[in-house]
A and B are shown apart, each in its own frame.
Chain A
Amino acid sequence: AQTVTQSQPEMSVQEAETVTLSCTYDTSESDYYLFWYKQPPSRQMILVIRQEAYKQQNATENRFSVNFQKAAKSFSLKISDSQLGDAAMYFCAYRSADNYGQNFVFGPGTRLSVLP
């Protein structure tokens, strides 16, 4: 079974600065998808960024980018120019690419605080 680990329960960043959230995962599969989701206090999970394992190029979405290291099974999220609205729980998630891998496996989350 796949597992996802987020070793930083809490992180803080100064507004306008850059922060990196860590995620590692364990799998024996070669094809899969990785995601970062944001969950603000309202609880609605919002997709931040997605990475296909077969793509070597790191995904980027505006101020959000990932550092995907397949061999190391590492998938960190970098938030540039942090804004107050970035404060939330961030979850790293894994999804198998096989026929039965429809569900996500989530990590325990990292709570990000943004300091004004």
Chain B
Amino acid sequence: GAGVSQSPRYKVAKRGQDVALRCDPISGHVSLFWYQQALGQGPEFLTYFQNEAQLDKSGLPSDRFFAERPEGSVSTLKIQRTQQEDSAVYLCASSLLGWRADTQYFGPGTRLTVL
């Protein structure tokens, strides 16, 4: 596609529900990143994939957070038993290669609100 897309754009969940957030990276991009952006703050790194391999998940805040990219393209971030502190915008980004100098292209984000 022309850019990184994410769905849904908005998600409201009751505390304790499980949610799944989808990211469609730019076609052919090797690297994929997930970030969490709390209101009024900069994005914070969650996890990184190179193709289907999850090479870094050091930013995932708890074992309730799980990400996958089984075929090396679309990725899903799953949050189990959501809590109010999970409310944030979740951004996905992709880059062409795995090089450090690569530009990351961001999607529009999914705003998650946990009631």
B75 to chain A, nearest CB (A): 15
| Count of chain A residues near B, Cβ 8 A | 27
Given A96-B100, A108-B41, decide whether A103 and B108 contact each other with a Cβ distance below 8 A. no
- Once the chains bind, are A103 and B109 in contact (CB under 8 Å)? no
Number of B residues, CB within 8 Å of A: 28
A100-B56, A103-B56, A109-B41 known; A33+B108 contact, CB < 8 A = no
Top 7 nearest A-B pairs by Cβ distance?
A: A106-B42, A45-B106, A103-B45, A43-B109, A44-B108, A102-B48, A106-B43
**CB < 8 Å neighbour of B48 from A33, A42, A103:** A103
| Closest chain B residue to A42, Cβ basis | B108
B60 to chain A, nearest CB (A): 12
Tell me the smallest distance from the CB of A109 to a CB of chain B, in Å: 5
- Contact partners of A37 in chain B: CB under 8 A: 106
**Contact between B104 and A97 (Cβ–Cβ < 8 Å)?**
no
Contact of A97 with B45 in the complex, beta carbons under 8 Å? no
A7 to chain B, nearest CB (A): 14
Give the CA-CA distance A108 to B37 in the complex, in Å. 10
Type the 1/0 row for A65-99, where 1 means its CB is closer than 8 Å to any CB of B: 00000000000000000000000000101011110
